């Protein structure tokens, strides 16, 4: 059993960045290169004697939109099909600026069933994502995987903007 704290920091610009002006009457702009912004991740992890672990992370993402820019992003995408296509095709990986993320997982070194429960909370728009992942071996080379996701917050919030629920079933083949 052990505790671990960690931190990461980065400063970067993004190529082909989708800029969302805070005024929704102005169109999106795809910029060749965004302004330089910083991102910081702070985390704490607790491992248990049985191999399970619990992680809690706080992310400050400098490339995310302000609340006014995010609101304009959704308003623009909802009213103009051309802007909606641009919003989806050039969508940044994260829309917000502040996130809280928690993960509880089984022992990844066990050869049996592996599971992971995850919860993410966008502190800017109060949307949430709940997810569960399961990987169950059938034999030494083949596993069945299952991922379930529930997004909350409504259609003009980051996590529920595209879907409220998803269920993915898969097979994982380990090549000898």
For residue 121, what pLDDT is reported? 96
pTM for the predicted model, two decimal places: 0.82
For residue 34, what pLDDT is reported? 78
For residue 172, what pLDDT is reported? 93
Q: Give a three-class secondary structure readout of the chain.
A: CEEEEEEEEEEECCEEEEECCCCCCCCCEEEEECCCEEEEEEEEEEECCCCCEEEEEEEEECCCCCHHHHHHHHHHHHHCHHHHHHHHHCCCCCCCCEEEEEEEECCCCCCCCEEEEEEEEECCCCCEEEEEEEEEECCCCEEEEEEEEEEECCCCCCCCCCCCEEEEEEEEECCC
Please, are residues 70 and 79 in contact by the beta-carbon 8 Å criterion? no
The terminus-to-terminus CA distance of the chain in angstroms comes to 34
Walk along the chain (176 residues) and give the pLDDT tens digit of each residue. 999 999 999 998 877 777 777 777 777 777 777 788 899 999 999 999 999 999 999 999 888 888 888 888 788 777 777 777 777 777 777 788 899 999 999 999 898 999 999 999 999 989 999 999 999 999 989 999 999 999 998 878 888 877 899 999 999 998 87
């Amino acid at each position: 059993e052990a505790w671990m704290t960690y931190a990461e920091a980065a400063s970067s610009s993004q190529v082909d960045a989708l800029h969302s002006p805070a005024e929704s009457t102005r169109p999106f702009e795809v910029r060749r290169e965004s302004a330089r912004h910083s991102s910081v991740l702070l985390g704490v992890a607790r491992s248990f004697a049985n191999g399970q672990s619990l992680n809690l992370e706080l992310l400050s993402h400098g490339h995310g939109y302000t609340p006014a820019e995010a609101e304009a992003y959704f308003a623009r995408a909802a009213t103009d099909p051309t802007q909606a296509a641009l919003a989806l095709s050039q969508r940044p990986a994260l829309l917000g600026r502040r996130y809280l993320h928690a993960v509880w997982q089984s022992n990844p070194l066990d050869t049996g069933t592996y599971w992971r429960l995850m919860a993410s909370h966008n502190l800017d728009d109060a949307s949430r994502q709940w997810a569960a992942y399961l990987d169950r071996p059938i034999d030494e080379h083949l596993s069945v995987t299952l991922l379930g996701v529930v997004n909350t917050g409504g259609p003009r919030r980051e996590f529920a903007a595209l879907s409220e629920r998803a269920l993915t079933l898969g097979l994982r083949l380990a090549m000898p």
